[in-house]
A and B are shown apart, each in its own frame.
Chain A
Amino acid sequence: MTSAVDTPAEESARPAPPSGLLTVARAPGWVRYALLAAGLLVALWLPNGLYPAVAVDILCWALFAVSVDLLLGFTGLMSFGHAAFWGTSAYVTGLVAIHAGLPFPAAVLAGALAAALLALPIGYLAVKRTGIYFAMVTLAFAQMVYYVANEWRSVTQGENGLQGVPREFFGADLSDDYYFYYAILPIVVLGLLAAWRIVNSPFGRVLVGIRDNPARARALGYPVHRYKLTAFVLSGFLAGLGGGLFAVGHRFVSLDVLHWTTSGKAVIVVVLGGIGTLWGGVLGAALVVRLEDWLSFSGFEAIGLVTGGIFVLVVLLFRRGIWGTIAHLARRRGAARRR
């Protein structure tokens, strides 16, 4: 972040001020509505074209990715410890669902609130650093949460994981993943809309301003740390929403949900989809989850080899990501037409 060499705007995947967010806002209304309608149609069709269990995972991971992009793309903070919020919510959701027998949306809400609560102290400490330090600090605190979950066996069951998380919803039969998908779709869409609303609010504009020039934002009188912390807590809440749904979806919570590879995977998904594009994360989630399912189904065991390889290639050759590349091409064509 403070490197001596200025990052050339053309090279950077993090959009310079007039690109990304603002361009999306400038796209003609009908294009945005058409894209939104198409996205919703795909979402409604998804469990008919894929295994419903995979479709459920895609929804959960879409929320996770968007929560990470809210920080990475729009606040300029790369959290490498988001598994802490995803996983904490998964455990809290599982525990609430098992012990209180509440309908699953209430359990998931409890989980997401717990995640947001955890994000408050971690974020308070982490926003004292920026750039690479921020990534290391969030990663370290996430690992601390992992150790706690590992050792606190009376609550988390340690390596055995939480078994038998119920899918209770006023007696409705949601045991089939196909119906469960449609039960969680509204929650996920609400979460995604919330992220979109945050990004396109005055608050979101301030975040982008902080991302592009923290010193200027501070000089304009914005309490930079407080804005970053608020974004961090909101992001923790959204990640928690995804993690809670993931727990109910699998009816099982394992320690993996808190492992640092989960945090890393969330960042891969965002980079692959396109940093700072919000909806790119949804695409990235769909691709990575689908690919991992396909790999494990075909008996390929070294999944890290493939995801790591994707990571290396994307970072080296494809930094704009999928959505970022599409937006970039559309922008170039638009500029050519105006000329």
Chain B
Amino acid sequence: MSGFLQNTFNGLVGGAFYALLALGLAVIFGMLRVVNFAHGAFYMLGAFGAYVLLAEAGVPFWAALVIMPLALGLLGMVLERAVIHRLTRLDPLYNFLLTFGLTLILQDLVKSRYGVQSSPYATPTELSGSVDFGLFDFPTYRVFILGFTVLLCAVVWWVLGRTRVGMVVRAATERPELTRAFGIDVGKWVTPVFGFGIALAGLAGVLAAPMRAVNPLMGADLIIVVFAVVVIGGLGSIFGSVAAGFGIGLIQAWGEAYLSDFPIVSQTVVFVVMAAVLLWRPAGLFGREEAPA
């Protein structure tokens, strides 16, 4: 029983990263119709930035947790204005290709400066050790991640649900044409929303630094799993992306725990779920068909 709870906890922590990344992808897609391939690269930059800040300037984790999302969000806004904006009138595939190119560039920039080895990042002392839940122990840092992510999702949820900005973002994400038809200038929200999505990816990266190996390729494989997550949840749905993120985290953790004799299964289970969802609901669990193709 305690083992099961522990695995469940682990699954939720893993799912928290998927949820943060998928949430960012979903709002960016909603506003810009851009599937941002570079999302994983920004996650990597978040983790690497935290590492560089600590190793070369002595900036602690808590400061990095604020600095990196802000800096990356700003970089995202600059990129949106400089390049992504130019392709918005074209087929969304062009921006997918553009961000793929950006991913290769960002990865290689970091790789050529820091190599491909993983860099260690110490858990902040306030969060080391573990919390005793009676039935089982759980590392304090992971408890923190889970609490922080759930809180963050709740705040984003509140902003999206209760504020005017949130209303526009939700409307534009789920029914873009209709939103424009109501005379709402979706255009002016595009750049800040892109920056916000990137900031979320950077934040996830900083959170990952003490827990996962910090290296230039850490975002590359993750982003493809996140793509599968948003196909499962439905890319047009913000709630679907977050729910599928946590769900896939759980399924992966259970797979790793109970099917450890079959490592192929635990690594590919997310794609198997994706195949099943495509068979049953091609638009994703919480998605709508955009237009009959």
A307 to B108 alpha-carbon distance, docked (Å): 10
**CB distance B83 to A14 under 8 Å?**
no
A304 to B93 alpha-carbon distance, docked (Å): 20
Contacts of B93 in A (CB 8 A): 1, 78, 131-132, 135
**Contact of A140 with B291 at beta-carbon distance under 8 Å, contacts A131-B93, A308-B105, A311-B101 already known:** no
Which of A5-13, A179-187, A240-248 is near enough to bind chain B?
A5-13
A264 to B37 alpha-carbon distance, docked (Å): 11
A132 to B90 alpha-carbon distance, docked (Å): 13
Contacts of B290 in A (CB 8 A): 2
Contacts of B291 in A (CB 8 A): 2
Chain A residue at minimal CB-CB distance from B35:
A132
A140 to B248 alpha-carbon distance, docked (Å): 14
How many A-B Cβ pairs are below 8 Å?
A: 149
Contacts of B293 in A (CB 8 A): 1-2, 130, 214-215
Interface membership of A315, Cβ < 8 A: yes
Q: Does more than half of chain B's interface fall in helix, strand or loop, or is it mixed?
A: helix
Contacts of A78 in B (CB 8 A): 93, 96
**Contact of A4 with B83 at beta-carbon distance under 8 Å, contacts A302-B108, A305-B104, A309-B101 already known:** no
Which residues of A, 75-131, contact B by the 8 Å Cβ criterion? 78, 80, 125-126, 128-131
**CB distance A143 to B221 under 8 Å?**
yes
A160, chain B: closest CB distance, angstroms: 17
**Contact of A147 with B267 at beta-carbon distance under 8 Å, contacts A136-B231, A137-B231 already known:** yes
A78, chain B: closest CB distance, angstroms: 5
Interface membership of B166, Cβ < 8 A: no
Interface membership of B211, Cβ < 8 A: no
Chain A residue at minimal CB-CB distance from B98:
A315
**CB distance A315 to B101 under 8 Å?**
yes
Which residues of A, 287-327, contact B by the 8 Å Cβ criterion? 301-305, 307-312, 315-316, 319
**CB distance B89 to A307 under 8 Å?**
no
Please encode chain B, from 222 to 234, with 1 for each CB lying within 8 Å of some chain A CB and 0 for all others.
0011011011000
Chain A residue at minimal CB-CB distance from B176:
A4
Q: Which of B221, B272, B282, B293 has the most CB of A within 10 A?
A: B293
A141 to B86 alpha-carbon distance, docked (Å): 30
Which residues of A, 1-32, contact B by the 8 Å Cβ criterion? 1-5, 7-8, 11-14
- Extra 14 A-B pairs, beta carbons < 8 Å, given A4-B180, A144-B271, A152-B264: A12-B91, A128-B282, A129-B231, A132-B96, A141-B271, A143-B271, A144-B268, A151-B267, A264-B100, A301-B112, A302-B111, A304-B105, A315-B94, A316-B86
